[in-house]
Every structure is written in structure tokens, then in C-alpha cells.
Structure 1
Amino acid sequence: MRTLDGRYQLEQRIGIGGMSEVWQAHDTVLDRPVAVKLISPGRGEANSVERIRTEARSAARLVHPNVASVHDFGASSMPPGRSAPYIVMELAEGDTLAAHLRAGPLDWRIAVRVCAEIAAALAAAHAHGIVHRDVKPANVMLTPSGVKVLDFGIATSADMPDDLPDGMVVGTPAYLAPEQLDRRPATPAADMYALGVLLYYCLTGRLPYRADSTSELLGARRRQPPEPLPPVDGLPPEVAGLCEQLMADDPTGRPTSLMAALLLAEAVDARVYVPMIDMSPPRQREGLVSPWTEQAATDATQVAAVGDRPAGPGRDRAS
């Protein structure tokens, strides 16, 4: 069993990407499960390690119920005399949104609640000047207590240029904003475009572009705007309008993460934690139930006495 810095025992690989892999691990010092993201060294290794360290420090300052926390940063030794940075994060229990979407679109009430909590997480990040750059279903975990947005450990500061070779971009092609395809610096508006694509996917079970391959997708992205959201039975018109606005070609025409979080939460009578509105930690919840069920979606929209409402993510029982 491989151990990093004599502390983190790597137990099982749970994810792999082009430049990194994620392991379920055990922190032997604090005796707790964690997730460890190993990042492959790139060109200009010394600068790359320092850049990732700086970004991890910024992400570690994010404290929000919908953000998977960053615990630690280090660099593991690799032959010959090289080092690979790693980031230690909270191990969120549950399934990714991508896994849920394999079965088809979500009930609109669940989709809106999920995206409200993602928007709240982004609002907290944007308030700290942090842009995620890779908002997608695989980076969203649905846990018994609500949404956890993953991978803030490799986010970047707003307006920072990408130091990647020509022809490469950071992120997942289907969720990249038009300005990201042109290699312009990342801004919070880029995250909002990705949220719009994700909301569309949750509501319809497909992307707002017709393509069978990445090359076709990129070509379609440059030739035509996203397809309009088809009718969704029961979906409030303001949510449909928000989805369209989030995918606006002009970044200045997209709503902010704070505006999106509040509008989406209001549509399903949910409570979210956003900067300067309510960043206090939630009180102890009793009788917590999973929000990812049809019954929870129904309960979220029923008009009932406060004391009779079931607890859910971001909602407290009356004291």
C-alpha cells in the first residue's frame, strides 16, 4: 500500500482523468478517510507545483456546506528526482450527479434544488475570487445531506491566464463557455455558463448541442448557439428563462452565481447559504432524510406547516 509523506495511505483509486487521478485514502494522523488527488507533473514542473500550491491554499479558505473541503497539499517523490503535487480533500459519501443522470433526466424539482446548491457553492467561491473552471456532473456529489461540489483544489483565481500549450484548454468541452474556447482568462461568468449547461442536462437528460464526438462538439459549439430548452412539465418559466440566460454567448449577459442561487432556491422553496445573505452554519438537523427521492421532491413543493416539513439540505426544522 502506497503512503504519501508517511501519512496518507492510498487504498483505492476512485477516479482518473487526463492529468490526475483520485484515490480514497486514510489519514493515519487524524484517523479519518480522505480523498487524495494526484496531479501529473507538467511542463515547467517547478512553476506548476507552486501554482497548484497557491490555488490549493485559496481553495482551502472556502468554507461552505456545499463545497468539499481542501485539507492539505503536498508533493510526492517520483523517479528520477521528480515530484508530483497532490491535494487532500474531504471524502464526500454518495454518488456523483453523472451517475444519477445515466438513468435519464431528474425530476425538475430535484434538478432545480441540485443546481441551487451548486450555484450557492459557486457564489461562495466567486466571493473569494475563485473560479472553478470545470463545473460538470462528475464534479458534483449527491450526499445524504445535500450537494458537494468537488475539485475546487484545481480552481484558479479570476482573470488569471492559462499557462498551457497552444491548442489546450482547461475544462470539459461540453461545459466550456465560448470565451474559454478562445483561451480568454477564466471569470465567474464561465462557471455560470457551465451551470446553465448542467441545468439543461439535468432537466432533459442530454446536452444542448448535437454531436457524436468531441471534435463534432467543438465544431457545433463554434457554429451555432445552444438549442432552446424544450418544454418541461411543471417547470416554472423563470427557471427556463434562467437556463437560457446562463448560456448567453456574451459573458456580461449571464446572471451571477448569487442571483442564480436565490432564484433557483425560491423556485423549490429551498434555503441555500450564500455570501452576505446567510453564511452561518446550519443548526443541528434532526431526522435527516435523503433529498434525492421522488418523495423529497414532492415534499419540497408542498405547502405545509413548518413543523411538519421534513429536513433536507440547507433546511432546518423549527426549533
Structure 2
Amino acid sequence: MYYERDFLGEGSYGKLYKGKDTKTQEEIAVKIFDLSKMEGVELELLETEIATMKDLQHPNIAKIIDSFKLPPKNMVIILELCDGDLNKLMKKYGGKLPESVAQVALTQLMEGFKYMINKNYIHRDVKPANALTKGSVYKVSDFGFAGKVNVRAKQKLDLFCGTPIYEAPQILAMIPYTAKCDLYSIGVMAYELVYGQFPWSNRAGDEQLLKNIKNVPLRFPVDIKVSEQYKDFLRRCLEYDENKRIEWDEAFNHPLFKVQESQKQYDSFKVPQNAKDLLGQLQKISQARDINVVELFEKYDTDRSLQLDRNEFYLFVLQLDPRLTRDQTTQIFKVMDRNGDELISLDEFKEIFCNYEFINISDKAERIIIDLREVVKARKLNLDQLFRSFDQQSDGKLNPQEFTQFIKQIAPGLKQDEIEEVFKKFDKNNDKEITFAEFKEQLVAGTQFDSKFDPEQERAMKLLSDLKRIVRTSGSNPQQIFNNFDKNRSGKLEFNEFQNICKIIDRNSTPDVEKVMFKLVNKSNSQGVSFQDFQQIFQ
């Protein structure tokens, strides 16, 4: 028995209600499918789901109580009623779970999967929405894509189904796969539980998702401390190559599901905020430009020693972001030189740059902007033309309503609260309007899509800022500095004399950057920099 008022939710083909067993008075879930909306494959999958659930009776698998046809066109499935799913639980904890809670959930769910695998079943739609909670018990649910498979013989399957963001790369690429595809999906879900985000985004579509899985390293947000046991489980589940991916027996016996809280190991890695910001910036740029950072590292390893000295490292980093100064690259160098030998080995570089994510995980808008860059790149969007099409007043601005329509054209899956966060990020002057300049500054600044990207100008300004800081902290006299470099006593610093100052700040500064610095300081546009112009740097 159920009432319309006890509606819980609906899917493509049916609705879910809370009901009551009139014999036992136990609360139940009533799932009603409209068979008239279903065709051959859908009907076959529904029959398979019912048969699968009836064959899988385990405490960590959602229980089916009964099923029957309700003329003229409905199928009814009676299920045990659960409290919610892991999505609901994550919301309760603010978007992600404490590792201890995630560990308990995964430990129980793996018991359900173990029972399935022993009976040669594959799920093919593992995700938090299909992991239910009932009190303190966690249960695998929703067997719409489940099927029989010879697990031990590693039987290959070719039914490509599931939820893309959780799908194994083999399914995304539409090539035959084994039962280990579920292990990959478990890895994505386990990552999401503790970090509150996906290891790779699919906002730009499945093709770009597959490309990112191949090319962007699996990274762990540096601001969230997760045990080495948990991260090892993630790494082994999220292997791209099925042959390298963890085996089912290894997964069931992984240390994560046996270790006590007091036995967990955590890395002691800490990084200053300035260096964290710089590393996050480099990660965003390398992803936006599809740069293979390991290949680039090896290019600057001129002696093939698999390590870079300070100067080689400086030149390497400038290829990622030519705006960085030597002082900034020195900050990064110190973080990566874990053993203090004044060299960055390839292993040290990969351990830091490829293992950790330095982008601020609490800045939800920034994460969405990174995804939007992926969409622009993948779809090769003409932002100017698209922006104008939503600018109804033709004033070069978008109000919140126009901006919402505009962003949904780029990323239809964004929720309203996410769009509002992005709007605030773009609206630098807080005037409740977004100009195209504000939009483009955030979305494409520093990438190859930015036609106004001027690394020499930015780097020149940073070097002048460094000069100001050096003089201020050392207590030096600007007049004395000017006199020391005015070798011909002309009362002006000619370009070659000014270059000597540039080399003191950064010995690897380029002539192009030095020319920009000279022009910035030479306010009077004369043949040389007067002391009056030079003094303006420090005011």
C-alpha cells in the first residue's frame, strides 16, 4: 500500500514511493515502472534487474521483496526502504565525508561487491546514488545495468553503459572490457567521497574526459589530509590500463579495509601559501595548454641525468608560465627539492607536481572556471560571438539573468547556485554586471586563447616590484643605486646601464623583458631613465 503524497523521486521510466506492507506493517519502497515508455532493450534490462536482485540476497545489497505486473501497463517492484544514499550523506557532512566514515561505507559496500563477484555478477553503474544507507548499514543498489560475467576468465563485454563520469576508460572509449570496470567506478566514487569532487571532470564531454584521464595525472588535493592506505586504494583502482588495475581479490583484501585509525599513515608534506598558489597556477596552465610536463622536464635535462639544477629548472618553469620571476621559481624549487641537494630530480618533480593538486579546493567557482576552460577548448567556442548573442542591451555587459542563459549554453549541467558563485568570481567590481573583459580575464587569461596575453609585460612589472621590495628591505638609497649604475655620469640610465640593474634582480631576464621594463620606467620617453623617473619605482 502506498499514497501519492509519499512520492520519493522518479527516473526515466518510473516513480518511487514510500509504502507500507499491510501484512507486516513494515515500511517499504514501491518502484512503479511505466512499461509503455519502454522498448525491447529497456524491457530486457528491467527483467534482468529483477532477476539479478532476486538472486543477490546479502546484508550489503538492497533487498527486493516482491515484483509483479499491474495491468494494463505497469511493473511494480517492492524493495526494502532505506534512509538515503551516499550523495545525501555527503551533503549532510558539507559535501564530502570524513575518511573514517568513507572507510566504513566502502568496507561494507565491498562485502556486497564480493558477494556479487563470487556469483559472477557485474554492476556497471557504481556511484554514490546507487549506494544506499539504512541506519549504519551500506548497501549496493540499482541493478539496471547488471549482468552475468565470467570474472575469473576475464570475459570481455561490449555493452557500453553506465554514468559517464564514473565509467572506466574502456567503456568511454567503447572497447571491450572486463568485470574490472566496476573497480574503476568504485575508485571514482571513493575519491569523490573524501575529496568532494571527481578525479577528472567531464563537463566538456566524454571525449575530453577520456583525454584528461589519459593525460592529466591522478592528483590528491593538498589541503585535504587522506591516509596513504586510502590513496593507495584510489591509485590502484584508477589505473587506466585494465591489466595494471588492481585485481578483485587484492581489492577485497586491501589494507584500507583492515587498518585501524591509529595505524593509518599520513604524509607530512607542507607547502607555503605563496608556493601553493604558484603551483596551482602552473597546473591550470599546463592543463589548459595540454602540455606534457614530463616530456618538457626531460627536454631541459640537457645532460640526461634525470634532474635539473636551479638554472635549468628556471628555464623549464618559464616554458610553462613566462610571467614568473626568478624569486617565484625559487619558491617552487625549494618546495620540490625534498632532499636539499640543490637539484630537482624527475621523481621529486612528479611526486609534487603530478601527485598533489594545489588548486584551492574550497574555491568552488575556480574549479568550475577550470571546467569551463575545458569546454571552450574542446568545443572551440567563439566567446566574443557567443557573449554578444546573449547581450540583449548590446552594451557589452550581461546582467545575472543574461549571464545564467549564457553559461548554460556553455555548460548546461551547471546548477543555479554554481552559476551564482561563478558570477561573483567574474564580477570583479561588484556592480552586478559582467563585462566581456571581466569574463575573458577569468576564463582565458594566461592561456593560448587569450589574445591579450602579454607575458613580457607581466614579468616586467613583477621584476620592478621585486626591485622595490629589495630596496625597501635592504634599506638601500635609490640615489646611490642610480649613481652606481650611471657609469658615464650622464644623469640618465641608458638602456645598457638599465639592463645591468635588471640582471641584478634576475640574471636570466631576457632582452624583451628588459625593454618593457625600460619603457615602463622611462616615463619621460627620453634617451635614458632620469633619476626622477627611477625614483618613481619606489613611491
TM-score after normalising by structure 1 = 0.67
Structure 1 equivalent of residue 258 of structure 2: 266
CA distance, structure 1, for counterparts of residue 142 and residue 68 of structure 2: 16
Contact map agreement 1:193 1:247 (CA 8 A) in 2:
yes
Aligned to 1:188: 179
**Identical residues among aligned pairs (%):** 25
> Using a 3 Å threshold, how does the CA distance of structure 1 residues 247 and 20 change in structure 2: closer, same or farther?
farther
Q: CA deviation at 1:62?
A: 1.5
Equivalent-residue separation in structure 1 for 2:24 and 2:66 (angstroms): 12
Larger-Rg structure:
2
Shift of 1:46: 5.9
Q: Is the 8 A contact 2:48 2:147 kept in 1?
A: no
Answering whether residue 76 of structure 2 is matched by residue 86 of structure 1, we say yes
- Matched residue type, 2:226: L
Q: SS where residue 193 of structure 2 aligns?
A: helix
- Mapped to 2, the partners of 1:207 and 1:40 lie a distance apart of 33
Cα contact 2:48–2:144 (8 A) shared by 1: no
What's the CA shift string for 1:80-104, capped at 9, x where partnerless?
xxx3433222112x23210122312
Q: Corresponding residue for 1:101?
A: 90
Aligned to 2:376: none
Instruction: Please name the residue that 1:199 is paired with.
Output: 190
Under a length normalisation based on structure 2, what TM-score does the superposition of the two structures give?
0.42
One-letter amino acid of the counterpart of residue 37, structure 1? K
- The alignment partner of 1:171 has SS state of coil
Matches within 5 A, 1:104-143: 104-143=95-134
SS of 1:13's equivalent in the other structure is: strand
Q: 1:214-233 maps to which residues of 2 (within 5 A)?
A: 216-225=204-213, 227-231=218-222
Structure 1 residue 156 and structure 2 residue 147: aligned? yes
What is the CA-CA distance between 1:117 and the residue it aligns to? Answer: 1.5
Q: 2:66 aligns with which of 69, 72, 79?
A: 72
Unaligned residue ranges in structure 2 (runs of 5+): 150-155, 262-539
The answer (yes or no) to whether the contact 2:199–2:218 under 8 Å persists in 1 is yes
Structure 1: distance between partners of 2:61 and 2:161:
20
More helix by share: 2
Over 3 Å counting, the alpha-carbon distance change for 1:258 and 1:88 in structure 2 is farther
Partners of 1:72 and 1:153 in 2: CA distance: 16
Structure 2 CA distance, aligned partners of 1:121 and 1:254? 20
Instruction: Give the Cα–Cα distance (whole angstroms) in 2 for the partners of residues 180 and 196 of structure 1.
Output: 15
Higher strand share: 1
Correspondence 1:24-63 to 2 at 5 A: 24-41=18-35, 45=39, 48-63=42-57
2:88 partner letter: A
| Aligned positions, number | 249
> Tell me, what secondary structure is at the counterpart of 1:267?
coil
Tell whether 2:169 aligns with 1:175: no
Task: Provide the rounded CA distance (Å) in 2 between the counterparts of 1:72 and 1:184.
Answer: 36
* Partner of residue 506, structure 2: none
Structure 1 counterpart of 2:330: none
Query: How far 1:30 moved relative to its partner?
Result: 4.3
1:17-70, Cα deviation, whole Å (9 max, x unpaired): 233332222233444222122334378746654553344223212222211112
**Structure 1 pair 84/177, CA: closer, same or farther in 2 (3 Å)?**
farther
Aligned mates of 1:84, 1:151 — CA distance in 2: 18
- Give the match's secondary structure for 1:260: helix
Structure 1 alignment gaps of length 5 or more? 1-6, 163-168, 270-319
- Describe the SS at the equivalent of 1:224: helix
